[in-house]
């Protein structure tokens, strides 16, 4: 492994960010650990940290998207219901719970609502493709509140959803 001087010899940290992300990240981590704060690439590091937070937000959106698209199909195609759909719904609930437990800042109502609204926009495209329906016939407004989804999930898979997950979700300030 290169030491900091060898890494810096390969270019400035800003250059490394664009040409060798791995070395850039390792170098910045070492500089932070060693307390060499004046040498850290603050501008790019700040962007990366922000992106880390955003990735958790988009992870939540992804779980919502899967949940909403499968809930819609569950309601509108009862003849096609399957264990696979049930599993996706169950795993989406687990993912949402996990994301919110690990990232309490995502529970703020405006952040949560924005993620939910964004997820429905994405879910509409998935639904349109999956059921071969013109997207204009799928409401632009989500047909479910989050509260309705939680109660519906309890009906779909009452013995397959961890009751602690449901209790956690029902205790969100949105309820």
Q: Where do the domains of the chain lie?
A: 4-39, 51-170
154 vs 149: CA distance, rounded Å:
9
- Give Cα 29 to chain centroid, integer Å: 25
pLDDT at 4: 55
pLDDT at 10: 53
Which of 18-22, 33-37, 55-59, 155-159 is least confident?
A: 155-159
Residue 121 has pLDDT above 70, yes or no: yes
pTM across the whole model? 0.82
Among 43, 37, 36, residue whose Cα is nearest residue 15: 43
26 vs 17: CA distance, rounded Å:
11
Q: What is the DSSP string of 76-115?
A: H-GGG--HHHHHHHHHHHHHHHHHHHH-GGGGSHHHHHHH
**Arithmetic mean of pLDDT, 122-149:** 96
Q: Six-digit token pair at 13? A: 């940290």
The number of CA neighbours under 13 Å toward the Cβ of 56 is: 18
Residue 9 has pLDDT above 80, yes or no: no
Residue 175 has pLDDT above 60, yes or no: no
Residue 95 makes CB contacts below 8 A (sequence gap 6+) with 59, 62, 63, 66
Tell me what percent of the residues of the chain surpass a pLDDT of 90. Answer: 79
Compute how many other C-beta atoms are within 10 angstroms of the C-beta atom of residue 90: 19
Among 110, 100, 104, 102, residue whose Cα is nearest residue 60: 100
Residue 16 is classified by DSSP as: H
């Amino acid at each position: 492994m290169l030491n900091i001087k060898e890494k810096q010899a390969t270019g400035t940290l800003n250059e490394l960010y664009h040409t060798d992300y791995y070395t850039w990240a390792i170098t910045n981590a070492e500089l932070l650990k060693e307390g060499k704060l004046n040498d850290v690439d603050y501008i790019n590091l700040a962007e990366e940290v922000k992106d880390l937070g955003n990735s958790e937000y988009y992870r939540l959106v992804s779980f919502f998207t899967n949940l909403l698209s499968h809930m819609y199909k569950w309601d509108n195609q009862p003849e096609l219901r399957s264990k696979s759909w049930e599993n996706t719904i169950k795993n989406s609930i687990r993912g949402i719970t996990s994301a919110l437990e690990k990232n309490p800042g995502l529970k703020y109502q405006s952040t949560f609502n924005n993620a939910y609204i964004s997820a429905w926009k994405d879910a509409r495209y998935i639904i349109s493709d999956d059921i071969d329906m013109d997207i204009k016939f799928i409401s632009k407004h989500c047909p479910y509140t989050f509260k309705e989804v939680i109660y519906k999930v309890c009906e779909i898979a009452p013995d397959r959803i961890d009751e602690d997950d449901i209790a956690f979700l029902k205790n969100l300030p949105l309820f």
